[in-house]
Amino acid sequence: MRLKPELRQAGILTLATWTLSGVLYLIPYHLFGGEAGLYVALSVLNICLLGALLSAGVYWAVRSARSRNAAVRLVTLGMAVFAASALLALLDAATADLLARLVGTDQTPAPFAMRATNNFVALVWQFALLGAAFTVIEANNLARDRERELALARETASRAEAAASAARLAALRYQLNPHFLFNTLNAISSLIVTRDYGPADAMLAKLSEFLRATLSVDQDALIPLEDELATLQHYLEIESVRFGDRLEVAFVCGADLNDALVPGFILQPLVENAIKYAVAPSTRPVTIRVEARADDGSLTIVVDDDGVAGEYPPKPGTGVGLANIRQRLQTLYGDQASLETARREHGFIAIVRLPLRRLVAHIPARVA
């Protein structure tokens, strides 16, 4: 029987995560303590196998709550992560003595309470990361399901075209780059293994804020530019952990444009392209600049960088991310909005132009 795509994605992600975790658990033994030994290997295998099985429960919880509001989804995910972490920690601590007797090792397992507590702290991160990934997968699946339902309604209802446009926007809105998520999960997992819990906690908090913004905003909504830039800041803070001093960011936006309305997540693909083609391959610091300005009733947003020209694709303006932006602008504004891209001698520039609309009427200050 062929698995559904979403189940196959979740299964592959679970297998890859626990395999990577097992390898990372064993590396310190080889680096600092010689051979890990049969007892340690079996203990790690036991944790990874049980963890993979319990991950299915976390995925089921995320999937069952995917149509509920953001608060319910977050509470459900938290309870599933806590339960899976506690159960796995207790099972590992309970079987530690049995494994030690089976292999006849001289190693004495840590006391039950200590082993269970330490494992719980580490495992809660593991299941939280998987839960966040499952949430993104189900968000994408939910968007695709909604689009299919709206496509069927188009054949029988006079308002089907408007519904189909909303579905297309929803699908585009939820297209998160899996490479970004995979790299973020890897970075957090490495920090946990090396017991850098402070940076790991900060990075997970930033990822949580970014995912919360992704899942809580109405797919079709226009949001204030201030909120769009705040979400973009969360994304850049996550990437800054990966690239460190190689990534520099500059925001140029006057306070008078904070209430200007823009499509949600319209800038993230542009910044992601700059990171992928300018920052990632570079060995020197690269500055990404985001500038917003008002031009004769229009809002102009510029995203540019000073990367090396040779690091960019040969045909600027192509790609799924840029095509999605153009499609969203066309759906929302027609010919009143545009996206222009160009490769420069030093770097790449993308310019978004759209009608200047505000959250509330902008009343100029009265001159005395």
CA 260 to chain centroid: 26
Centre a 10 Å sphere on the Cβ of residue 354 and count the other Cβ atoms it contains. Answer: 22
CA-angle at 158, arms to 156 and 163, nearest 5°: 90
> Tell me, what's the pLDDT at 156?
56
Structure tokens at 338: 């545009």
d(CA 239, CA 234): 9
Q: What is the CATH number of domain 226-355?
A: 3.30.565.10
Query: What is the 8-class DSSP label of residue 158?
Result: T
**338-344 and 298-305 as β-strands: parallel, antiparallel, unpaired?**
unpaired
d(CA 227, CA 216): 12
Alpha helices, H only, 155-267? 160-173, 178-193, 197-216, 225-243
Centre a 10 Å sphere on the Cβ of residue 65 and count the other Cβ atoms it contains. Answer: 19
Residue extents of the structural domains in the chain: 5-207, 226-355
> Tell me, what's the pLDDT at 34?
52
CA-angle at 144, arms to 142 and 147, nearest 5°: 110
d(CA 259, CA 151): 34
Q: pLDDT of the chain along its 368 residues, tens only?
A: 566 777 788 888 888 888 888 787 777 666 655 555 677 778 888 888 888 888 888 888 888 887 788 888 888 888 988 988 888 888 888 887 777 777 766 666 778 788 888 888 888 888 888 888 888 888 888 777 777 777 765 665 544 454 445 545 455 455 545 556 777 777 778 778 777 777 777 778 887 777 776 666 665 578 999 988 988 888 888 888 878 889 999 999 989 999 999 988 889 889 988 988 899 888 899 999 999 999 888 999 999 999 875 544 444 444 567 888 888 898 889 999 999 999 888 889 999 999 999 987 544 544 44
Q: What is the dihedral of CA 215, 126, 244, 173, to 10 degrees?
A: -20
Give the containing element (helix H, strand E) for 353. strand 347-355
Q: Is 63:138 a contact under the CB 8 Å cutoff?
A: yes
State phi, psi for 125 to the nearest 5 degrees: -65, -45
> Tell me, what's the pLDDT at 318?
46
CA 366 to chain centroid: 45
Structure tokens at 341: 């891209």
> Tell me, what's the pLDDT at 215?
65
Helix 197-216 and helix 70-103, axial crossing angle in degrees, nearest 10: 140
Instruction: Report the candidate in 292, 222, 302 with the shortest Cα–Cα distance to residue 257.
Output: 292
Structure tokens at 122: 């580490």
d(CA 119, CA 93): 8
Centre a 10 Å sphere on the Cβ of residue 4 and count the other Cβ atoms it contains. Answer: 9
Side by side, which strands form the sheet with 338-344? 247-253, 286-295, 298-305, 347-355, 338-344
d(CA 356, CA 295): 9
Give the containing element (helix H, strand E) for 81. helix 70-103
> Tell me, what's the pLDDT at 163?
44
